[in-house]
Structure 1
Amino acid sequence: MSNSFFYDTIEKIQSKIDVIKASSMCFVSEDNFILYNFRDELLNSVSAFNKLDTLVIKPSGGNIKIEQVRDVEEFLMYKPNYAKVKVVFFEDIDRLNVEAANASLKLIEEPPEYALVFGTTTRWNYLLPTVKSRFIRVDLSIPSVLIENINSKYGEIGIYFNFFRHYDLGVLLFLNDENTDISRIKDEVERIVKFSAKNVDELLNNFKLPLDLPENKLKFALSYYKFWNILINLNDKEFFYLIKDISQIKNDVENLSFLRNISALGSILLRDSMIFLNSSKWKYFWNNSLVYFFGLNEHIVDVDIEQIKNTVSYLNRMSTMRLANFNFEMEIFTHFFRIKRCFSRTIK
C-alpha cells in the first residue's frame, strides 16, 4: 500500500517520537486489512524503529495468553540494541483473555521510557474498561483519496463498489491498481447487474470462486446482492428451492469462509435498511449501490426494527465465527430466511 494512504498518522508518530515514548496506542478500524497494512507501513516507515527491536504478538489458538504477555515483559526488560525505540505490537488486542489482560495492565499503562506499546482491534468495545483506559485510541479509516480515485476511474459503475469500504479493503486496492484491466472489470460488473433468475447457475459459479483473489471477491460480493435482487421477488416455494440450490455448493466452497462472508454482506444490507427506515438523508447510507441491487426503496416500508437488529446481531456473530462446529446447509437456510423475514411484511 502506498505510504500516502496513512502518511499523516505515521508522520505524526515519526515527528513526535520523543514525546510519545513510554506510552501505549491502540489503532481501531472496522477492517483488519486496514490495520495489517497500517502496521506494516508504520513499522517500515518510522526511522526510530527496527525489526530486530520489535515484537509482534498475535492470538494463538484464538486468544492472546498470559504466557505471551510474559514474553513481552521479558522483551521490555532491556533497552533497544538496534533502534531508538523498542516496539511491542499486539494484533487483535481484543483477543486478550482475562488473565492476560490483567497481567498486561501495568506494561500498557507504563511502558519503559525507551519503548512503545501498540495494539490493533476491530472491536474496541470488547476490550476490558481497564485496558481501554490505558490506551490512546487512534481511529483509522479508508483514505478518501482511494474512494475518489476509484469513482473517477470507473465512472458510473463506481457506485457498485461503495460497500467494499465496509467489507474488504483489498478489493478497493485491486480496483485502484494501475495494472487492473478497467474494461474487463466494467464488463463483469455490468454482466452481473443484468443477471436475472435465468442466470442462477452463473451466480452460483461466482459463489464457488476462491476468495484469495480480490477480483473473485468482487464477483462473489456482487453476486450475493444480485441473488437478493432475485430472491426478494420470488414466492415462498420458489424462494425455498433457490436456497436449496445455494446450500448444495457445500462441497465446492470452504464452508466457514463462505458463511463468514455472506454474513458480513448480509449485515451491511440490513444496516442500510435500518437507515432507510429512519432517515431520508442519503448521506448516511454506506452503500447506495444496494438500493440499485436490492431495491430498498421498493421493499422497505414498515419493517420490524427489532427483527432487523436481532438478525444483524446474529450475522455479526457468524461473520466472526472461528469454530467449524456447524451444519452448513442449516446455516444457509437460517441466513436467508432470517433476512427474508425482515422484509416479508413489505414485499410488493
Structure 2
Amino acid sequence: MHNSFFYDTIEKIQSKIDDIKASSLCFVCEDNFILNNFRDDLLNSVLDFNKLDTLIIKPSGGNIKIEQIRDVEEFLMYKPNYAKVKVVFFEDIDRLNIEAANAALKLIEEPPEYALVFGTTTRWNYLLPTIKSRFIRFDLSIPLVLIEDINTKYKETAIYFNFFRHYDSGVLLFLNDENTDISRIKDEVDRIVNFSVNDVDELLNNFKLPLDLPENKLKFALSYYKLWNILINLNDKEFFYLIKDISQIKNDVENLTFLRNISTLGTILLRDAMVFLNSSKWKFFWNNSLVYFFGLNEHILNLEQLKDTVSYLNRMSTMRLANFNFEMEIFTHFFRIKRCFIKTIK
C-alpha cells in the first residue's frame, strides 16, 4: 500500500472493493488540492486498479459535456483487461452541464458490475439533486497527522500556519516535506512577523512573488496579515497613503488573482473576528496568530459591517470576469475591513 496521508481511507476502499463494485462514490472537500492528491494516491495505491482500465474525465472549457459522457459509456461497455475493476473518475463533477448530467444519471446510479464511478467536488450543493441522490458521499479533510507533524517540526512557529487549512493546503504539504528547510522557514516567518511600518516595501515585494510556489504563498499570506497589523494602528491620513502605495503594485501582479487571494485572506480574518466576538474557545480559531497580528482583543466589532464585508469578499474571491478597477477594489477592500474594527480605549 502506498504510504500516504489518506492511508486509512484508501485501505478501507481496497478492503471493501468487492462490496462497493457497481456503485458510485463522490469525494467532497473544500480544497481541490486535497482532492487531487487523494485522487492520485487512490488510483496509484489500490491493487485492483490499473491506469489502462481507468478513465479520468475533466471539465473541458469550464464544463463536463455530453460528448464526454458518451466516452464514458463506450469505455464501460467492456470488462477490464488489466485490472479487477474498471474506474471512471470525474473531476469537479459539479461542472456537469444539464445535458451531460441527465445523460450521466443511469451510469452513476448503476455502473456495470465490474466498474466503479468516482467523483470529486468542492461544491456538493451545486450538484443537481438527482445526481447527489445517486452518489455515496465521502467527506475528505486535512489529515490530523499532517497538522501534528507540522506542529512538532515548527514548534511555536506553527501557530502561524493554522489558517492554511482553509487557504491553501499545498503550503502545509510543502511545510511538512522532508526537503523543506525548517530553519529557513522559521527565520522567514520571524522576519515577517517582526516587520514594522518602516518595512512596508518588503511586505509589498512579497505580494509580487509568483504564487505557483508554496513558499511564496506562505510569504504572501503572512505579509497580508502583517500589513493589517501595521494598518490598523495608523491614523486616517497614514492609512490612506499606505493603501495608495499598495494600489501601485497593479503592474507587478496578476490583478484578478491578487484580488481573489486577498479577498480569501480577508474572509479568514473576519471569520476569526466573528469567532472572537462570540466565543472564548480558542480551538475554534482558524488562525490563532491573527489575534496577535491584529490585536483582536483591543477592538470592538461592528457586526453588521462585518457581515456585509464578508459577503463582499466572498463575491470577490469567486469573481471570474476581469471587469473591475484594480485601484478602486484595493481601496474598497481595505476600507471595508477597517470599518469592521473600532479601537477601544485601553
Tell me the TM-score normalised to structure 1 length: 0.94
Per-residue deviation at 1:341? 2.4
Per-residue deviation at 1:255? 1.8
- Aligned equivalent of 1:315, options 313, 316, 320: 313
Q: Does 1:325 align with 2:323?
A: yes
Q: State whether residues 303 and 346 of structure 1, in contact with CA within 8 Å, keep that contact through their aligned partners in structure 2.
A: no
Per-residue deviation at 1:145? 1.1
In structure 2, how many angstroms separate the alpha carbons of the residues matched to 1:240 and 1:67? 53
In structure 2, how many angstroms separate the alpha carbons of the residues matched to 1:271 and 1:328? 24
Q: State whether residues 232 and 347 of structure 1, in contact with CA within 8 Å, keep that contact through their aligned partners in structure 2.
A: no
In structure 1, how many angstroms separate the alpha carbons of the residues matched to 2:59 and 2:314? 20
Note the 1:1-348 alignment, pairs <5 A. 3-299=3-299, 301-304=300-303, 306-343=304-341, 345-346=342-343
In structure 2, how many angstroms separate the alpha carbons of the residues matched to 1:103 and 1:26? 17
Q: State whether residues 192 and 222 of structure 2, in contact with CA within 8 Å, keep that contact through their aligned partners in structure 1.
A: yes
Mean Cα displacement is larger for which, 224-233 or 54-63?
A: 54-63
Per-residue deviation at 1:335? 1.8
In structure 2, how many angstroms separate the alpha carbons of the residues matched to 1:138 and 1:183? 37
Identity %: 88
Q: Deviations over 1:174-221 (max 9, x none)?
A: 111222212211111111111111111000000001111111111111
Structure 1 pair 72–314 and aligned structure 2 pair: CA distance change class (3 A): farther
Q: Deviations over 1:51-77 (max 9, x none)?
A: 111111111222222222222222222
In structure 2, how many angstroms separate the alpha carbons of the residues matched to 1:73 and 1:185? 49
In structure 1, how many angstroms separate the alpha carbons of the residues matched to 2:99 and 2:237? 51
Structure 1 pair 235–210 and aligned structure 2 pair: CA distance change class (3 A): same
Q: Deviations over 1:251-304 (max 9, x none)?
A: 1112222122112111111111111111122111111111111111212x2422
Per-residue deviation at 1:231? 1.2
Q: State whether residues 63 and 95 of structure 1, in contact with CA within 8 Å, keep that contact through their aligned partners in structure 2.
A: yes
In structure 1, how many angstroms separate the alpha carbons of the residues matched to 2:308 and 2:123? 19
Q: State whether residues 4 and 41 of structure 2, in contact with CA within 8 Å, keep that contact through their aligned partners in structure 1.
A: no
In structure 2, how many angstroms separate the alpha carbons of the residues matched to 1:119 and 1:229? 41
In structure 2, how many angstroms separate the alpha carbons of the residues matched to 1:185 and 1:101? 46
In structure 2, how many angstroms separate the alpha carbons of the residues matched to 1:316 and 1:67? 33
In structure 2, how many angstroms separate the alpha carbons of the residues matched to 1:65 and 1:194? 51
SS at match of 2:6: helix
Aligned residue type for 1:61 = G
Q: Deviations over 1:38-95 (max 9, x none)?
A: 0000000011111111111111222222222222222222222222111111111122
| Ranges in structure 1 where 5+ consecutive residues have no aligned partner | none
In structure 1, how many angstroms separate the alpha carbons of the residues matched to 2:198 and 2:174? 30
Per-residue deviation at 1:311? 2.4
Q: State whether residues 85 and 114 of structure 1, in contact with CA within 8 Å, keep that contact through their aligned partners in structure 2.
A: yes
Q: Deviations over 1:204-254 (max 9, x none)?
A: 000001111111111111000011111112222222221121111111112
Mean Cα displacement is larger for which, 214-223 or 250-259?
A: 250-259
Aligned residue type for 1:171 = V
Per-residue deviation at 1:347? 5.8
SS at match of 1:283: helix
SS at match of 1:89: strand
In structure 2, how many angstroms separate the alpha carbons of the residues matched to 1:100 and 1:315? 32
In structure 2, how many angstroms separate the alpha carbons of the residues matched to 1:310 and 1:298? 22
Mean Cα displacement is larger for which, 325-334 or 269-278?
A: 325-334
Q: How many residues align?
A: 344
Aligned residue type for 1:320 = T
Q: State whether residues 307 and 342 of structure 1, in contact with CA within 8 Å, keep that contact through their aligned partners in structure 2.
A: yes
Structure 1 pair 325–50 and aligned structure 2 pair: CA distance change class (3 A): farther
In structure 2, how many angstroms separate the alpha carbons of the residues matched to 1:239 and 1:161? 27
Q: State whether residues 29 and 140 of structure 2, in contact with CA within 8 Å, keep that contact through their aligned partners in structure 1.
A: yes
In structure 2, how many angstroms separate the alpha carbons of the residues matched to 1:111 and 1:8? 25
Tell me the TM-score normalised to structure 2 length: 0.94
When the two chains are superposed, the root-mean-square deviation of aligned CA atoms in Å is 1.6
Mean Cα displacement is larger for which, 219-228 or 306-315?
A: 306-315
Per-residue deviation at 1:22? 0.9
In structure 2, how many angstroms separate the alpha carbons of the residues matched to 1:180 and 1:94? 35
Per-residue deviation at 1:34? 0.5
SS at match of 2:116: strand
